[in-house]
Structure 1
Amino acid sequence: AEKYAPSTLWTHYSMLRTCLDIKEKMKINKYSVLIAFIKQKNVGYEGKKAKVLTRKEINEFLRAAPDEIFLMIK
């Protein structure tokens, strides 16, 4: 659990919960210790913000990028 972000743990828990419910008719949402563990890992966690291009950077790319390489992207 140390190498995964809390959001990833929640995603895996959700996928596992759904699969076990559908295939095995098993409800893991009753395991409060598991949920408490994931919540505890979430304490103090700050997710990473994705970098976003500005309008100026996009226009600069469209103007300056060589057509031989980036024409399909433009």
Structure 2
Amino acid sequence: MGRIACIVEYKAVSLDNIDGFYDWLGKHFTQTEIRQNTYIQKEMLEEILKENPEDAEKYKNQIAQLEVLIAKHEDFELDLS
């Protein structure tokens, strides 16, 4: 699976079922790629909301979950120092 296809599939699957998606993600990405794609996913959602602000409530939980993941990644990186 190519990197672009993974990102597109990441967006499609995670928007539909973010809770069950992380198992799939772990099978296809390294931890570094997961971290990078978490940032990419958050950016994608923010772009969607710029174009469709009326969807803010729809994506509020996904963005909050991604922010938690980003914070965990940053905490993990700090622990390694």
The normalised TM-score by structure 1 is: 0.38
The normalised TM-score by structure 2 is: 0.36
Q: Which has the higher helix share?
A: 2
| Structure with greater Cα Rg | 1
